[in-house]
């Protein structure tokens, strides 16, 4: 049995990159950049007014200024601004070359003569210099970056409309067990609905993968082997839930070996999720996750998700907040590390969620994050600072 840290190192150390493809920026949201993006222009491309007002020479402030023209955004100035002159200017418009100051309309008075005078205090120039934000040739986005709405804006601002991204990894999800029925069916006594598969499919899609459901493998070794073998041949990452513990029908590890998988670990010193199996084969990797839904959820978040991002050339790290415990928390068993679900209160404290064990999946909609309790630690005291990993 290995630690969670060692499991993470083994898993991420066996990432195989998925390759790349070129897509439109319109389809790039949520994808991982596979190239540096370089600006083809200065930004702004000219000295740009930050306000509606008047562009002038700073030395002329305090004098009555003749208004030569109105410069709108998107239009070139037509006249030169000379001594004791100014141009009415709109936000985003080009500041004439001879001007080094823009004063706001609010800080001006139009005189009966039609001239304007500055009435404020000259603290800010009120315009942005050409290339102040970005120079032509600058790298504005780095390879490995997750493309969010703000990255879409950056791409379009430099005309980068064809984007090289990491290809989405193909992931198979398989559930095991005769006790499972699909969610649309009312389970008979001794059977339960299959929540694991759809949880994992959603987690995989949210992590940027292309996930496919292969169904429920019955408690039959031959049928399970056929299904797992097909999934391995068609995907880069296969996730199997259930059948990895010590029961009479838990033959997933032996099936994996028969299918050509080299198992690198099959126990992790963590609660929930101890019977987690990970292995490699010639085409990709395989996870055997526990059948309890909370265990499967946690092991995906802590092991599978980082691997998916690394396969796409990105180093993903969770958002972590260091918060005080809202109450004292004590556990009974302390031989393993434990993930504790918590909600973040309106006082910005970590409140343990009501949680009855690894089958209690409905506890997690009420949780904002999880806290790792190290092995041999029994108590988190009220007010003790803990690291809340958001989920």
Whole-prediction pTM value? 0.89
Mean pLDDT of 1-30: 96
pLDDT value of position 177: 87
Q: Residue 249 pLDDT > 50, yes or no?
A: no
pLDDT value of position 360: 82
Q: How confident is the model at residue 229 (pLDDT cuts 50, 70, 90)?
A: very high
Kindly state the tokens that stand for 180: 């499972």
pLDDT value of position 248: 46
Q: How confident is the model at residue 13 (pLDDT cuts 50, 70, 90)?
A: very high
Q: Residue 244 pLDDT > 70, yes or no?
A: no
Kindly state the tokens that stand for 380: 């988190």
SS3 per-residue string spanning the chain: CECHHHHHHHHHCCCCCCCEEEEEHHHCCCCEECCCEECCCCECCCCEECCCEEEECHHHCCCCEEEEEEECCCCCCCCCCCCCEEEEECCCCECCCCCCEEEEHHHEEECCCCCEEECCCCCCCCEECCCCCECCCCEEECCCCECCHHHHHHHHHCCCCEEEEECCCEEEEEEECCCEECCCCCCCCCCEECCHHHHHHHHHHHCCCEEEEEEEECCCHHHHHHHHHHHHHHCCEEEEECCCCCCCCCCHHHHHHHCCCEEEECCECEECCCCCEEEECCCCEEEEECCCHHHHHHHHHHHHHHHHHHHCCCCCCCCEEEEEECCCEECCCCCCEEEEEEEECCCCCEEECCCCCCCCHHHHHHCCEEEEECCCCCEECCCCEEEEEEC
Q: How confident is the model at residue 258 (pLDDT cuts 50, 70, 90)?
A: very high
Model pLDDT for residues 170-198, shown as the tens digit of each residue: 999 999 988 898 989 998 888 888 999 99
Model pLDDT for residues 45-58, shown as the tens digit of each residue: 999 999 999 999 99
Domains recognised in the chain with CATH numbers: 4-17+167-311 (3.40.980.10), 23-39+138-166 (3.90.105.10), 48-128 (2.170.190.11), 320-390 (2.40.340.10)
Model pLDDT for residues 291-307, shown as the tens digit of each residue: 899 999 999 999 999 99
Cα–Cα distance for residue pair 84/66, rounded to 1 Å:
6
Residue 317, judged by CB atoms within 10 A of its CB (0-12, 13-18, 19+), counts as exposed
Model pLDDT for residues 64-99, shown as the tens digit of each residue: 999 999 999 999 999 999 999 999 999 999 999 999
Mean pLDDT of 220-248: 86
pLDDT value of position 261: 96
Q: Residue 246 pLDDT > 80, yes or no?
A: no
Mean pLDDT of 240-259: 76
Q: How confident is the model at residue 334 (pLDDT cuts 50, 70, 90)?
A: confident
Mean pLDDT computed over every residue of the chain: 94
Q: How confident is the model at residue 103 (pLDDT cuts 50, 70, 90)?
A: very high
User: How many beta carbons lie within 10 A of that of residue 27, not counting itself?
Assistant: 11
Cα–Cα distance for residue pair 369/321, rounded to 1 Å:
9
């Amino acid at each position: 049995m290995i630690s969670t840290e060692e499991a993470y190192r083994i898993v991420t150390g066996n990432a195989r990159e998925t390759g790349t493809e070129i897509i439109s920026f319109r389809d790039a949201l949520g994808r991982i950049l596979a190239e540096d993006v370089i600006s083809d222009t200065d930004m702004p491309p000219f000295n740009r007014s930050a306000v509606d007002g008047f562009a002038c020479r700073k030395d002329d402030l305090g004098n009555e200024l003749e208004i030569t023209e109105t410069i709108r955004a998107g239009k070139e100035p037509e006249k030169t601004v000379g001594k004791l002159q100014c141009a009415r200017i709109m936000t985003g418009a080009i500041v004439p070359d001879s001007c080094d100051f823009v004063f706001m309309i609010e800080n001006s008075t139009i005189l009966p003569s039609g001239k304007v005078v500055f009435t404020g205090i000259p603290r800010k120039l009120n315009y942005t210099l050409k290339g102040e934000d970005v120079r032509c040739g600058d790298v504005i986005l780095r390879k490995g970056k997750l493309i969010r709405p703000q990255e879409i804006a950056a791409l379009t601002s430099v005309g980068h409309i064809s984007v090289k991204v990491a290809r989405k990894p193909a992931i198979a999800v398989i559930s095991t067990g005769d006790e499972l029925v699909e969610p649309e069916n009312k389970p008979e006594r001794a059977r339960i609905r299959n929540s694991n598969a759809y949880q994992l499919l959603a987690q995989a899609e949210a992590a940027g993968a292309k996930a496919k459901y292969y169904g429920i493998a019955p408690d039959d070794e031959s049928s399970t082997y056929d299904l797992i073998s097909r999934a391995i041949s068609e995907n880069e990452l296969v996730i199997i839930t259930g059948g990895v513990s010590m029961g009479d029908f838990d033959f997933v590890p032996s099936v994996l070996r028969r299918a050509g998988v080299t198992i690198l670990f099959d126990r992790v010193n963590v609660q929930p999720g101890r019977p987690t199996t990970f292995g490699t084969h010639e085409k990709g990797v395989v996870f055997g996750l526990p059948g309890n839904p909370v265990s499967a959820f946690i092991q995906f978040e802590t092991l599978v998700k980082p691997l998916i991002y690394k396969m796409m050339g990105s180093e993903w790290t969770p958002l972590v907040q260091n918060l005080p415990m809202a109450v004292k928390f004590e556990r009974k068993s302390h031989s393993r590390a434990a993930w504790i679900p918590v909600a973040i209160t309106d006082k910005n404290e970590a409140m343990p969620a009501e949680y009855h064990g690894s089958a209690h999946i409905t506890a997690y909609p009420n949780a904002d994050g999880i806290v790792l309790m190290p092995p041999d630690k029994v108590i988190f005291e009220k007010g003790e600072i803990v690291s809340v990993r958001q989920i």
